[in-house]
Structure formats: structure tokens, C-alpha cells
Structure 1
């Protein structure tokens, strides 16, 4: 065992042996006032004089006195209190995280999606907004193209909904390429079989896409109900101060950005299987019945992995799907200033709206912690600022990596995954330690930076009454305002993105009876060996 490990274990043992308790310390000082002759007017002992002597009074000690009387270390909370805090405030956050968009890819890419979601929430929300923005652009382009080329007047008409759906599918498979869906579909408009191919591909995509909005709404309701119940229970409790809400509410509100993020996620929908999209596009190519149009011509070779000067290419679209658009919360190539696609929302506005939820969550959390006795920027406020700044830093690092041409493809995804693991789980670990008592110390009870700057470091003890007032008046307003602000930000995303009132992208449906030609041709052996997507009953998990 190394010297560092020995010192670390000794530190933990010292913290356990000399465990401190805020209420026990307050009771001991009251006992000294009543029986040991401690003078309530002693200004070298008490920060505010005279110190109250009644049981419900709040009195303050200089930090040095607190350290000598209450202990120098920190004390973990008792087991049942840790479990109550985690179940009441942290588990609902994890439930929300579990309802984010999960790509129909392998387990490691599902894990990457979760890591990126909690480790870089700004980029996750921005990527989701750009995914939905592409669908709006697809609708605008499809309506214009159908009208200009008279595709709605052909014997077998092309509908804007069908064309926009195929546009979106191409973006899902090729979002990391400089080739746009417009450059792919534009030259195909003149082909005779184009209307039929579009209709069949759109039907296949609708049949293999699901939007699990009901599950997400239930998760949000569960989150709000659980947090509200824990809040009401804690604020109405008659037990000692460590059962009162305050900093634990602040830490829970630090993750209130999950509301707009999860709502964005559920609006994006997802494919049911990993190969559903590529199978629909392969059948689209076959139905065109044109020798010049092949899968290779539509999807040119892409970098599979590149680091500095070394790399290799892959023409298998499904192989590169995780970093080419298949994971909606991770979109490496997205415009930051402007886009050439028609009807595309302002990337700058979308960037601002992606940062706002983090700023709101951080401000609400800091506001609650600051107003929790002892008032000031203490350990928890500093931790909340640090976590918020860490998310901002994570976004900037990801932005830099995505801009570097020397790091692309799978290598870039792995590096970002490692970065997100450190950031995301680091933040959750810090919150878990705080809930467990890591900040249960004189230093973290004090007014922190305010006391250092004003030379007035002190600690309030016996703060039941203060916390009760906050729980009834201050905290509900901050919590309600924070959640309302997050919903308002999502409404702004809806308005700026322009995708909220679109119905074409609600892609859960069944194949229309009129489109049975493909089934007949495949039965006769005239179509591709790629089988039709199995048709089942209409999905009811919207």
C-alpha cells in the first residue's frame, strides 16, 4: 500500500471518528450557555451578539469557534437520510435521463448516447434541434420542389410529405457528409420510377419509425410528482434542520435542463431497428430501376476513422451510422452561423436556446443555495457553479474536436465519449457525495466566499425557523420559476425551429392500400432481395 493510500484511508477514518453534527453542536453550545457560564455577549465567540438562549433561536459562531467546538472534518449523513435524499431527489433525475432518445444501434452506442447527454447537454440539445431543423427544411424544400417540377400532376403523384420523409432519411444516414439530401434527390427527379420509389420508401420509413411521447410524458410527470412530494414532505416536517429542504433542492434543480432536453428527444422519434432506414433507402434505389443510380453513387466512401494523417474509408453506410447521423444527440457536422438548406432556422438562435437551459438551471440552483442559511456563496454554490461551467467547457471542447479535420469518425466519437464520461459521471458523483454528507462541515455551513471577502466567516446554528420560512416562501417560487423558464425555453425552441406545427414527421403509420405494387413485384422476384419491412398493427406507443 502506497503512502498516498495510507493517508487517504487515515483521512476517511478521522472524518468518521470525529464526525460532526450541526444540531448536536448547537445543543451543546446552548447547554454551555445555560450551565457552563458561556456569555451570550461574548463577541469573540459569537458573530452576532447577544446570542439567543431559547431553543428555537438562531445564533452564529465565528468559523474558528465552530471548528474547535463542532469539529474540523465532515460527517456522512446516516444511512436512512442518504437513501431518502437519493430516492427523493436524485432517482427522478436518473429516470428522466433514461427516457432520452436511444438509437437502435449496439449497446456501446446506447451507452455513448447517455454519456453524451449527461456529459455535454448543450451539444445534445443543439444536435436535437438541428435534427428537427433538417425536417423543417425538408418540408419547405419538398413543397417547393413538388410545385416547381409539377410532381403533383403526374400519373403517380409525388406528395410533399413523402418526398420530405425520404429527405430526412438521407440526412439520418449521411448527416456527417458534405453531400446534402438535395444534391442526392435533385438529379433523380427526372426518373420515371421516382414517384413510385418515393411513395414506397416513405411508407417503409413510416412503418419503421416510432415516437415514444407517452412514455416521456409519464416520466416527466413522475419526476415532477416525486420532487414535489419530497419537497412538500420536507418543508412540512417537524424534525430537526437536516430534514429541511434547501441545498438538496438546489442540486435537484441543477438538472432541470432535462425538461426541454427530454421533450426535444421525444419529438425527434426513432427507428425501431438499426437497419430500418438503410433498408428503406436500398429499396428506394432498386425501385428507381436505373443502372446509373447505385448505393455507392448515393453514398460515397466516408472516413471510418482518422487521427492526424492516418485513416481508412468505409463505404458501408450502416458501419458509419453512429457518427453520421444515426445518434440524434450527437451530430458532428452542424452549421453554427448559417445553413444553405431552405427554411433552415437560425443556427445562432438554436445555439443560444441550447445554452439557456444550463444557465437557468445553474442560476436557480445557486439562488436556492445562496439563500439557505448561512447566506452566502458557500461550498454548494461553488460546486453548482463548477458543474455548470464544466458543462459549458465540455461543449467548447466538443466543438473544438468537431472542428478539427485531423480527428474524425470513430476516433472523434471515442474521444468525445471519454470526455463525456469524465464530465457527466463526475457531476453525478459530486452530487451523490454532497447528498451523502461530503459538505456536512463547518466550512460548508459558513457563508463561504462572502465571509472571506468581508472578513466575516461565520456559521449559523439552529436554523430550523429560517429553513421553514424559506421552504414556505422562497424555495417554491424559485423552483416554480425555474421549471416554468425551462418550459418557456422549449416553447422558444418550438417557435424558432418551426417544427412544432408540422405533422409530416409524425412517421408512425401503416402502408396505404394503394401502394401494393412493390409487394406484387417482390413476389414475382422482380425486386431486390432486401425484404419488405414486416408490416404489423399500428403502433400505439405515441
Structure 2
């Protein structure tokens, strides 16, 4: 293993040292003319020092009649620099994979925080896809845990309450569930209310009509399928009957409290994007780009370098799970409306009931004063949310809302950025394996085996990109470690206080890293697409360290073409399908457990409207 890392490091250093001695950095290579005017006109002769004969294990020529020239002859006859691809070919490459990739990334669910935040998010996706996927999976896991907790406590409106709790996570990485339980136990022990509203008694099922069928208790497969089809055949009357049945035993106070909770959840859900259809269309667009790469390789058989376009498209498959999972999580359409919705719930409960009831959903933590201070510089740590002052009373609501967008990018609203992650090890392993095994390795295999077997410039380019991804992940972990949040009460803070970072500084440092790494990745891929790798050095086995390197300028033979397709189609195809299957498996698990929290679809939203109407005393 150590030898592997030493070899990889040496190759990467060699790659950056290559331009100074491997070939001239000038556009003077023309391999089409070299083949037509030189290679095709010399007969195959193994005694000719200009040629290299490749034999199989039996000592026979592998491709009789195909002349392979030495590396030195290639430099002398074809040019010692590189050759730009034809402008039409470059434009075809751009239209083939660049545009579908941009369209796919554009369907990532960005929070409404402006163009700069969108650029930063895209840079983070490109520069650190492992951490991005890790953040998305972490947020999915947190929602799953919050819903499980609500159901474990037998809360009647488990889906609505978990929806509200999940909103806290997007506004400061807060978890109010423990404070909710403390406040609930206090209400039950002291005042005896809200009675059994927040528990399953008298045969009432938790949240039986507001949430989707996927939130019901586990059922046998046949019963689940029957329930699924029945839910799609339900009429508005059936929804109304279910809602009325679920709340018929509630007292007046229980009904009003339930009404406020369900109405808040409805407002939060209606503040999210509703459909995932455009995301699926963009994913199919990338799949069509892969098909286009196949077609181009088929039609450009005379150019044995065209299969590298397939490798480039394959490398972009890391975008698929990121964009799709971001669609499952969704994003608020307003960066401040949800704060106002939660604080309105807190105020309404306090006005209609009491401060003890309002403590079930405490106001957001520390948002108001962060408009004039750097986030994280003076945050209280270890203080329960219920013990914090009511910010809606101490500060005007307008100030509260205006202060949030300036800190929102690094305080929870970006699904792709989460400096401190629970459930780390398993999700980190899944994210790393997913990105490297289904994006980098397939691209590496295609370039390694096309058209000659060997580790050449393109293989090294993909390896450098993968290395940058790993380095970015490590720096993200390091930046997270040095945030002050973890060391507020640590003796290290007193020893080297300037070493630790506030959340704002950590976010800025991450952005600088992302822009730098993204620039390198763009340069590497652009160089490949323009033709900087179209040189004798990159076409030969020089980088592989073979004793006798040679250059193959011949078109694919029938055997090579057939063997190539056995790898070109299955390798990216399997990677795409496995990646898509992984997304669907997560989506099935996510939809089963917590998918109905925000992205409910038309039927789920109709159910919310009906239930809120039934709970409203004026609508009964």
C-alpha cells in the first residue's frame, strides 16, 4: 500500500515537471498528416529502427500490417509539441458533455441566497464532491432520526412536528427535539394539558392523514401495495373523512394546538419546491451525453483518441447522486420566510395558550444579534434553546429577518455545507466509495486501456482530479476540526487561540480552497478537450515507464474496435446504473421514513390542506 502511494505521488510530481522537458509547448503536431504522409507509406519491418513490433505471448505479431513508430521518430516526423483539435471537433465536444453537465448542475436545489452563493455551491460540488455527498446524506439521516424520534414518542402529529424540527436544522444546525420533550413533560406534569394530544391513546394513530402513506407503520408488502394504490385512488371526500376521523376525539384546546402545528408544517412545505421532474430530465440529459459520446466514437473510428470523450463524460457521473439527493431534500424558496413562520408559531402559542406551551417550539437561537457580529465569535455553547431569550420580543422582526441571509450560507441553509457532521464514519465511507468507484475508476479504466494499454496523460489527469478530491475532503475535515465550536471550552483555545476558526472564517477558507481546486480541475479537463494531451508524449508509453515506448497512429482494427466496445459501453453504463440504483435505494428508504416531510407531492399537499381545514374551528 505504501508503494502504491509513493508511486502515485511520484507520477503526479512527474506530471507537473513534464512540461519543462517532455515536449515543447507549441502547436506543431499534426498526427493525421503524419499518418497519411509517413506511417501509412512505410512497410512493416521489425528490423527497422524506426518501428516497434509488438508480439503476443507466442511470439507472433499482434497486428500484422500496422506500423508502430518509436517515440523519437514521432517527435521528429509528427512534431515535438502538441496539436490542437479541430475547432469543429472542440465545439462538438463542448455541446456533447459540457452543456448537459451545466444543465444538470443547474438543477441542483440551491437555497435562495443569491448568485455568489450559487457559484460557491457549484465550486464546492466540483472541488469536494465527497464532502458534498457526505453533507447531503447527513441531512437525510438527521431528518430520518427526527421523524423516528417523533414516532418513538407516539406524537399524534409526528410528520408535522418532525417537519418543524427539520426546519430548525436548516437554520443554525439546531435540534429542538430534546427541548420539545422537556417542555411537553413539564406541561403534562404541572398543568395536565395538552392531555393525550401528543400521544397515541384510545386507538388514535399518529398523523394518519396528514402524512404520506410512506409514513405509516411498517406493513406487509402486499398491504403496502394495496395502500399505495388506494391512496392514489382516494377522492377529496375520502381525505376529508380520514381527517375528520383522526381528530374527532380531540378537545378544543388539543384541536387548536394541533391546528397551529399542522398549519405551520403546511406553510413550511408550501415554501419548498414541489416537483422533481426537471431533476430527472437533467439526469437523462447527462445519460444522452454519454450516448452521444458512444455515437461519436463509432463515427470517428479513424481517430483512435475519441474514446477518451466517454471517459470525460463518465468522470462527471459524480454529479448525478448529488443533484438527485438535493432534489429529495429540497430548498426553501425564501431564505427568511421559514424563520418568520416558526417565530409566528411560537408567538401564536404564547398568545393563545401560555409561555410554557410556546416553549414546545422555541425561537431561533442567536440569529438576531449575528447581523453585527461575526457568526460563531461569541456563541453560547451548551445552553438549552428554551433558556434563550425570546428574540422576537427583544428585537424587531424585520431586524431578525434581515440578519439571517448574511450568515445563512454557513449556518445551515446550504445542504452541501455542514462543517460538523454526526453519524460520520459510515456516511463518509459511503460517500468516498460512491464518488471514487463510480466516477473516477471507470474513467481511469477507459483511458488506461484506450487506445494503448498504459498509464498516460489522461489517466494521470483523472488521477490528479481524484487526488484533489481526497485532499479537499481532508482539508474540509481539518477546517472543521479547527473551528472554535469544538474548542470553546478546550485548554487549546488558551494556548493557541488564533489557530481556531469561527464559522464565518472557516466558510471563507473553504470557498478559497474550492475556487482554487475547481480552477485546477477546469484547466486539466480543458487542456484535454483542446488538444494539449494530443502529443507524442501522451500517445506513447513514456509515462508508464516502459523500456521501449511506441506511438500508435493507426485507425482501430476490427478486433480493437470490438474489444473496445466491450469496455466502452459496460464500464460507464454499469457505473451510471449502479449510481442511479443507489440514489433510488436511498430515495426509497428516505421516502419511506422521512420523504413526506417537505417534498410531499400533490396528494400530500392536498391532505395537509384538508387536515388544517378540519382542525380550524371555523371550518368544522
Residue 211 of structure 2 corresponds to which residue in structure 1? none
Write the mapping of 1:38-49 to structure 2, written as runs, cut at 5 A: 40-48=45-53
RMSD: 3.5
Instruction: For residue 266 of structure 1, report the CA deviation from its aligned partner.
Output: 1.0
Deviation of 1:85 after TM superposition, in Å, equals 1.2
Which residue number in structure 1 is paired with residue 366 of structure 2?
A: 301
**Which residue of the other structure, out of 308, 313, 318, is the alignment partner of 1:257?**
318
| Counterpart-to-counterpart distance in 2, 1:362 and 1:371 | 14
Cα deviation code 1:133-169 (max 9, x no counterpart): 1111121111122x2xxx54xxxxxx11111111111
Question: How much has 1:21 moved relative to structure 2?
Answer: 1.9
1:116 aligns with 2:121: no
C-alpha distance 308-519 of structure 1, shift in aligned 2 (>3 A): closer
Please point out which of 323, 332, 344 is paired with 2:419: 332
CA distance in 1, matches of 2:563, 2:571: 10
Q: Which moved more, 1:107-116 or 1:214-223?
A: 107-116
d(CA) in 2 for partners of 1:92, 1:57: 41
Instruction: Verify: 1:126 aligned to 2:189, yes or no.
Output: no
Task: Indicate how the Cα distance of structure 1 residues 500 and 470 shifts in structure 2: closer, same or farther if over 3 A, else same.
Answer: farther
Tell which deviates more after alignment, 115-124 or 179-188.
179-188
Deviation track 1:49-106 (CA, whole Å, cap 9, x = no partner) reads 79x9xx9943212211211121111111111011111111222222211111211222
Tell me if structure 2 keeps the 8 A contact 1:332–1:402: yes
**Higher helix fraction (1 or 2):** 2
Between the aligned partners of 1:219 and 1:186, the Cα distance in structure 2 is: 42
* Contact 1:304–1:410 (8 Å) recurs in 2: no
2:436 to 346, 354, 359: 359
User: Cα 1:14–1:363, aligned 2, differ >3 Å: closer, same or farther?
Assistant: closer
Could you tell me how far 1:321 is from its partner in structure 2? 2.1
Structure 1 CA distance for aligned equivalents of residues 363 and 263 of structure 2: 18
Matched, 1:23 2:32: yes
2:13 alignment counterpart = none
Residue aligned with 1:58, SS: coil
Which residue is equivalent to 1:392? 470
Residue of structure 2 aligned with 1:167, choices 161, 165, 168: 165
Confirm or deny: 8 A CA contact 2:29 2:81 kept in the other structure: yes
Task: Mark the CA change 1:23 to 1:330 in structure 2 (over 3 Å): closer, same or farther.
Answer: same
User: 3-state SS of the aligned residue for 2:107?
Assistant: coil
The structure-2 alpha-carbon separation of the partners of 1:30 and 1:306, relative to structure 1 and needing over 3 Å to count, comes to: farther
CA distance in 2, matches of 1:210, 1:425: 31
Aligned partner of 1:381 in structure 2 is 459
Q: Residues 138 and 373 from structure 1, CA distance in 2 versus in 1: closer, same or farther, beyond 3 angstroms?
A: same
Aligned to 1:528: none
Query: Aligned pair in 2 of structure 1 residues 443, 14: CA closer, same or farther (>3 Å)?
Result: closer
**Aligned position for 1:421:** 515
SS of equivalent to 2:431: helix
Could you tell me which of 183, 207, 211 is aligned with 2:270? Answer: 207
CA distance 1:513–1:489, shift in 2 (3 Å): closer
Structure 1 gaps, min length 5: 1-7, 153-158, 339-346, 522-542
Q: Which residue of 1 aligns with 2:541?
A: 447
TM-score of the superposed pair, with normalisation by structure 2? 0.70
Distance in 2, Cα, partners of 1:105 & 1:357: 29
Structure 1 distance, partners of 2:68, 2:373, is: 59
User: Is 1:277 matched with 2:338?
Assistant: yes
Partner of 2:233: none
Q: Hey, what's the Cα distance between the residues in 2 that align with 1:228 and 1:249?
A: 9
C-alpha distance 70-273 of structure 1, shift in aligned 2 (>3 A):
same
1:475 to 1:287, Cα distance in 2 relative to 1, 3 A: same
Shift of 1:358: 2.0
Distance 2:336 2:374 in 1: 31
Q: In structure 2, list runs of 5 or more residues that go unmatched.
A: 1-18, 188-192, 195-255, 381-390, 392-399, 485-499
**Contact 1:174 / 1:324 at 8 angstroms: preserved in 2?**
yes
Q: Specify whether residues 467 and 427 from structure 1 end up closer, same or farther in structure 2 by C-alpha distance, changes over 3 A only.
A: farther
1:255 aligned counterpart, secondary structure: helix
**8 Å CA contact retained: 2:52, 2:68:** yes
| 8 Å contact kept, 2:97–2:286 | no
Tell me: CA distance 1:307–1:435, structure 2 relative to 1, closer, same or farther (3 Å).
farther
Distance (Å, rounded) in 2 between the aligned partners of 1:234 and 1:185: 60
Cα distance per residue 1:176-227 (max 9 Å; x no partner): xxx5221332234337575343222112112211244100001111221232
Matched, 1:95 2:110: no
Structure 1 residue 295: Cα displacement:
12
